[in-house]
């Protein structure tokens, strides 16, 4: 595995790989890698000849008072973990390389960025779409892989790639869970043992809403209150949102039409840690985790 720390060298590597007819698969990350990332890498290796993993904690996507400063960083540990995987290059640029003085362009989606997490994290998706566009420009992937846990993120990136004709195939990969159901996340390492136990309310709520949906309940408000009911009773867990939303525009659905799908998504603070999780109702067994 080659370690590349400048955009210029990364672009050279990408140009040479593509000239040699290799298909590049990109796994963009902010590091603090876990089994969810490992799954993305393995999936990328199935569909490409040169897997590139990027690690960059992107300041543009953190708001004031969020966890940019304390976000877990362990570049050497991450590199060791990746060395045993089918990774051709690790791209870990410096801040000034991606955002040199005078940088001012951004990518925005006006409507989708105000839904779900966007309602509570203004500017977050502008930061995500901007850095992912830059990574696509630098790494020149044929295909890029994102986890379903960040469902809104991958839906928006998929839309962006289509709207802007970026020529990158976007894949969503099913959420990887701990044996007790907790969705894997770099932020889980913030949880105290008590919070770790309380955090299970999120996956429990999603299982309950999935069971209700599979049992024939398709009314949006009933599904939403099923989601809320599981989380609201849990001490130490502060619900931010619990929605059943359309996969097209992320707005609340009144009724999930027969044969269609919807996103059941939840965000909550567990202690001081903000966690998100989701399931795609009616999406089991479909490509791209049922998202698109």
Q: Does 28 bind ligand PAF (CB under 6 A)?
A: yes
Interaction with ligand PAF in 45-74: which residues (CB under 6 A)? 58, 61
Q: Does 210 bind ligand PAF (CB under 6 A)?
A: no
Q: Taking each helix axis as running N to C, give the angle between helix 124-139 and helix 151-163, from 0 to 180 degrees, rounded to the nearest 10.
A: 60
In the complex, the smallest distance separating the C-beta of residue 75 from ligand PAF, rounded to whole angstroms, is: 14
Nearer to ligand PAF, 61 or 226 (CB): 61
> Is 46:160 a contact under the CB 8 Å cutoff?
no
- Start-end of H helices in the chain: 7-19, 35-47, 75-83, 95-98, 117-120, 124-139, 151-163, 193-198, 200-214, 220-232
Q: Is 37 a catalytic residue?
A: yes
> Is 266:188 a contact under the CB 8 Å cutoff?
no
Binder among 132, 156, 170, 176 for ligand PAF (CB under 6 A): 132
- Which entry of 37, 124, 158, 218 is annotated as an active-site residue? 37
Q: Taking each helix axis as running N to C, give the angle between helix 220-232 and helix 200-214, from 0 to 180 degrees, rounded to the nearest 10.
A: 150
| Pairing of β 24-29 and β 50-55 | parallel
In the complex, the smallest distance separating the C-beta of residue 96 from ligand PAF, rounded to whole angstroms, is: 17
Binder among 150, 195, 243, 277 for ligand PAF (CB under 6 A): 150
Instruction: Report the first-to-last Cα separation within the chain, whole angstroms.
Output: 32
Which segment (23-31, 69-77, 79-87, 191-199) binds ligand PAF by CB under 6 A? 23-31
Q: Does 30 bind ligand PAF (CB under 6 A)?
A: yes
Residues designated catalytic = 37
Chain contacts with ligand PAF (rule: CB under 6 A): 28-30, 58, 61, 128, 131-132, 150, 153
């Amino acid at each position: 595995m080659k370690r590349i720390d400048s955009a210029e060298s990364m672009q050279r590597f990408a140009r040479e790989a593509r000239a040699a007819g290799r298909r590049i698969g990109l796994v963009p990350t902010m590091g603090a890698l876990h089994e969810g990332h490992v799954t993305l890498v393995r999936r990328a290796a199935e569909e490409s000849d040169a897997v590139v993993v990027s690690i960059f904690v992107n300041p543009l996507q953190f708001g004031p008072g969020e966890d940019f400063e304390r976000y877990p960083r362990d570049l050497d540990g991450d590199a060791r973990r990746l060395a045993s995987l089918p990774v051709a290059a690790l791209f870990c640029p410096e801040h000034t390389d991606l955002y040199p003085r005078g940088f001012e362009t951004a990518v925005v989606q006006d409507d989708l960025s105000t839904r779900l997490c966007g309602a509570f994290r203004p500017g977050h998706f502008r930061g995500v779409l901007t850095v992912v566009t830059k990574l696509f420009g630098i790494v020149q992937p044929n295909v890029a892989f994102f986890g379903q846990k960040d469902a809104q993120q991958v839906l928006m990136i998929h839309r962006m790639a289509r709207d802007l004709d970026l020529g990158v195939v976007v894949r969503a990969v099913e959420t990887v869970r701990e044996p007790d159901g907790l969705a894997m996340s770099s932020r889980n390492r913030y949880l105290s043992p008590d919070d770790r136990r309380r955090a299970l309310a999120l996956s429990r709520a999603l299982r309950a809403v999935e069971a209700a949906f599979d049992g024939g309940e398709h009314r949006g408000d009933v599904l939403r209150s099923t989601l809320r009911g599981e989380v609201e009773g849990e001490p130490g867990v502060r619900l931010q949102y619990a929605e059943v939303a359309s996969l097209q525009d992320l707005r609340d659905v009144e009724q999930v039409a027969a044969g269609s799908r919807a996103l059941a998504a939840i965000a909550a603070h567990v202690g001081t840690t903000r966690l998100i999780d989701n399931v795609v109702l009616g999406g089991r067994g479909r490509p791209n985790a049922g998202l698109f």
